[in-house]
Amino acid sequence: MTLTVFALAAIALLALIFGALLGFAAIRFKVEGDPLVDQIDAILPQTQCGQCGYPGCKPYAEAIANGDDINKCPPGGETTIKELSALMGVEAKPLDAAHGVEDVKKVAFIREDECIGCTKCIQACPVDAILGAAKQMHTILMDECTGCDLCVDPCPVDCIDMVPVEVDSSHWEWKFNKVPVGDIPIRQMS
Amino acid sequence: MFTNYDEIIERISLNQLWDFPGGVNPPQQKTLSNQSSIEYLQVEKTYYVPVKQHIGIEGKLLVSEGDKVLKGQAITTSEAPFSVPVHAPTSGTVTKITDHVSAHPSGIPELSVIIDADDQDTWFELDPVPDYAKTSKSELIERICDAGISGMGGAGFPTHIKTNNSKPLEFLIINGIECEPYISSDDRLMREHAWQIRQGIDILVHILQPKQVIVAVEDNKPEALETMSIACQQKTNYQVVSVPTKYPAGGEKQLIQVLTSREVPSNGLPIDVGCIMYNVATCYAIADAIVEGKPLIERVVTLTGEGFKSPKNVWARLGTPIQSLLTYGDYDKSQQSSPRFIMGGPMMGFTVTSMLTPIVKISNCILVPADDELPHPEDERACIRCSACSDVCPASLLPQQLFWYSKAKELEKAEEYNLFDCIECGACAYVCPSEIPLVHYYRQAKADIRNQKEEKEKSDKAKIRFEDRKARLLKEKEQREEKHRLAAEARKASLSKDGGGAKDKIAAALARAKAKKEALAMQAPNASKITNSPESEKTKAVSLSEVSTQVAASQKTQGASPAKDGPEDDTAAAKKRLVAAVLAKAKAKKMAANKANKETKDL
């Protein structure tokens, strides 16, 4: 009888100790947020365009972590899908055309003399890349624009164009179209 | 850590140099162009001066279309630390500021200032330094920057940044190697202007205070070696060294390794191993800038290859289109079945896309090969993993692995294999039996990695901005709600200040309204403007809602009375009006009561 009581007491004590330990660990080593979501978010292109159907890249990252398809991001295109499939351990699928197609990189451009200063595009911009005030001309901060397209629709006078980003020589990818193979060091007859 | 100073000095004095790994020995072909002295060209009709001719960022334009400029006048500023100004190559008029084909393999048009010469060639007011030894270092560095000098050996690194050094410096190395075949511009410059190069070195020594100066010349240029030795013989700590000919001994890291056996660390700079290196043409330009006050507006360009009837070296102003240089070198069309002009040497040069491509600060050679002189690139074949490329790589990389990863776009792997230590010398492609344009793959991979990194930076920035905006919107919403809550509380407080007075107030207001309605009803037949009545004056003190109720009520009353103060006022009509007025009164009363109820409920 005493043995049983002793055993029960010992187990109860152990349970208390471990419970306290686990409780402490849960508070002390609490993980803020979901690290997987952050990893996914880091892969997404952060255009915040909402073409995936979610209001921004972070929400889509959360959705992917909860099992949504990985092929809903047109700005990221194939590369993003590949990286996501490697991270999530799922098969890479082609881009879902319902959410748009992969396009060249673009930035918004306001035709300034047509702008009426309604501030609607400023409210639509997810990254605060539009500068302006009510009844004042607006303009786009080109370096901050992600090319998400969200400012185009709200504009009542249609003065916003999406302009493809031109490649300059420092961003050129060594793809020749005029000269076939101009940069190859030339071998000499000897 | 690395070979010490004394041992290096001893080895150099005995001319027992070290070696760098790999390297190739292509046929030199220098005698084509180095036999005659450097010729001066006539002033061109039009110059195309690119605003950016170096690594870094371009300065701000100082001129606008239609402006008159003088020879040597700065046409851009150098506000940012990494920007170097450019200068007008001759006097004339700025006819256009537009995008013009760039002296870059891509030929992508870049902002250029197009200047039409007035044939006067009038100098801008020059401002030489009378005695550089008595001038402060910072002023000299500023003058070097203002003269638009950037490294003229090929990379185009802004010279003033290199010169602004605060770390201990042991060796100032002057690079007169010129290891690439065909090119002889530095060779001719050393032969003809050794004294001015020496002046440039003196200025650099004054600024940098090195322990030792080494002038390195490849042993295939004995004349240059001799003139440089004569020019430097009075100075005890200047040593002119003959370096064995091997490509690419002129590479900065390779030459340091040959002279000192020290290796510049990956991602490091020569100063990390106590060295700084300048090209001989840069020294010449520095002397020009300080002693003569002349900015960098011209450089020596080698016109060579069997496509020229008279290959030679010329002083070409920056911005000269290569088509004029072809005329000077007597371009022989019959030698080429299709036009093929190479800017730079045969190992690292590129085929230009336009005849109007301008000469810039880093253009040292225009190579026009005859058809059979340089083979046309063949179709590449599969890599047979012969490892000839890794045998010749001067940076001790594994070119075949880099090629593999670059081609498969496994950029992370390529980076792991130190792709960015590749100096793009082309030795690997030169020996490749499968004719693989290896450097082309490396350049593509490097550009891809750079662009990806930039993209990543941009997306990180976008993420921060997006999250900041979200936080801001949330804060604004909270602030708005807080404001509303505070306003409601204030209302409540003001009402409850009189204790139970609120109810009394409402009752009083109701009574007043009632009295007024009655009065109105009495005056209904000739009711005019309600706001003029003394009662309404009183109501102003009461809350706004009540006023609106009153107005509504009065309007109702007015609307309900169809009479227009006609002269015939029969009893039937009067009765009707009375009924209507009573109805309106009842309605108004009900509404007021409702309102009061609602208000009390709100409280």
Per the model's pLDDT, the better-predicted residue between A12 and B594 turns out to be A12
A27-37 tens-digit pLDDT:
888 877 678 88
List the single range of B172-181, B381-390, B416-425, B573-582 with lowest mean pLDDT: B573-582
Residue A44 has pLDDT above 50, yes or no: yes
CA distance A61 to chain B (A): 13
Which residues of chain B are in CATH 3.40.50.11540 domains?
Answer: 1-32+127-293
Q: Measuring CA to CA, how many Å separate B51 from each of A173, B60, B113, B363, B407?
A: 22, 9, 7, 15, 34
Closest Cβ opposite residue B106 in set A44, A172, A181: A172
Is there a contact between A190 and B26 if contact means CB atoms under 8 Å apart? yes
pLDDT winner (highest mean) among A173-177, B75-79, B355-359: B355-359
Residue B346 has pLDDT above 50, yes or no: yes
Handedness of CA B311, B317, B319, B324 (dihedral sign): negative
What is the Cα–Cα distance from B211 to B169, expressed in whole angstroms?
7
Residue A189 near chain B (CB below 8 Å): yes
Q: B304 forms bridges with which residues in the sheet?
A: B367
Residue B277 has pLDDT above 60, yes or no: yes
Per the model's pLDDT, the better-predicted residue between B472 and B568 turns out to be B472
Is there a contact between B439 and A184 if contact means CB atoms under 8 Å apart? yes
Closest Cβ opposite residue B466 in set A46, A168, A169: A46
ipTM: 0.78
Which residue in chain B is spatially nearest to A187 when comparing CA positions? B430
Is there a contact between B374 and A187 if contact means CB atoms under 8 Å apart? yes
- pLDDT attached to residue A48: 87
Provide the H-helix boundaries in B93-249: 137-146, 159-163, 185-208, 222-232
Per the model's pLDDT, the better-predicted residue between B560 and A9 turns out to be A9
Under CATH, what is the fold of the domain B1-32+127-293? Rossmann fold (3.40.50)
CA distance B464 to chain A (A): 8
Residue B55 has pLDDT above 90, yes or no: no
Ramachandran angles phi, psi of B579, nearest 5°:
-60, -45
- pLDDT attached to residue B530: 46
B382-431 tens-digit pLDDT:
999 999 999 999 999 999 999 999 999 889 999 999 999 999 999 998 89
Which residue from A75, A76, A80 is spatially nearest to A92, judged by alpha carbons? Answer: A80
- pLDDT attached to residue B570: 62
Residue type, B300: V
What is the Cα–Cα distance from B420 to B331, expressed in whole angstroms?
38
A141-162 tens-digit pLDDT:
988 898 888 899 999 999 999 9
Residue B547 has pLDDT above 50, yes or no: no
CA distance A12 to chain B (A): 48
- Number of H helices and number of E strands within chain B? 17, 14
Residue B542 has pLDDT above 90, yes or no: no
List the single range of A143-147, B128-132, B505-509 with lowest mean pLDDT: B505-509
Interface test with A, best of B51, B101, B102, B106 (most A CBs within 10 A): B106
Which residue from B18, B3, B24 is spatially nearest to B394, judged by alpha carbons? Answer: B24
Ramachandran angles phi, psi of B161, nearest 5°:
-70, -40
- pLDDT band for position A177 (50/70/90)? low
Q: Measuring CA to CA, how many Å separate A132 from each of B296, B299, B474?
A: 43, 48, 21
DSSP H or E run through B217: strand B212-218
Is there a contact between A186 and B347 if contact means CB atoms under 8 Å apart? yes
Residue A33 near chain B (CB below 8 Å): no
B69-101 tens-digit pLDDT:
999 999 998 877 888 899 999 999 999 999 999
Mean model confidence pLDDT for chain A: 85
Q: Measuring CA to CA, how many Å separate B102 from each of B52, B75, B90, B107, B212?
A: 9, 18, 20, 5, 39
Q: According to the 3-state scheme, what is the secondary structure of B40-69?
A: ECCCCCEEEEECCCCCCCCCCECCCCCCEE
Is there a contact between A178 and B353 if contact means CB atoms under 8 Å apart? yes
Q: Which domains does chain A have, with CATH numbers?
A: 35-99 (1.10.15.40), 106-164 (3.30.70.20)
Residue B14 has pLDDT above 50, yes or no: yes
Closest Cβ opposite residue B444 in set A46, A167, A173: A173
For residues B482-507, average pLDDT: 81
CA distance B434 to chain A (A): 12
Residue A129 near chain B (CB below 8 Å): yes
Degrees, nearest 5: CA angle A133-A135-A137: 70
- Cis before B248 (ω within 30): yes
Residue A47 near chain B (CB below 8 Å): yes
Which residue from B39, B41, B40, B44 is spatially nearest to B119, judged by alpha carbons? Answer: B44
A46-94 tens-digit pLDDT:
888 888 889 888 889 999 988 888 888 888 888 889 888 988 888 888 8
DSSP H or E run through B485: helix B438-496
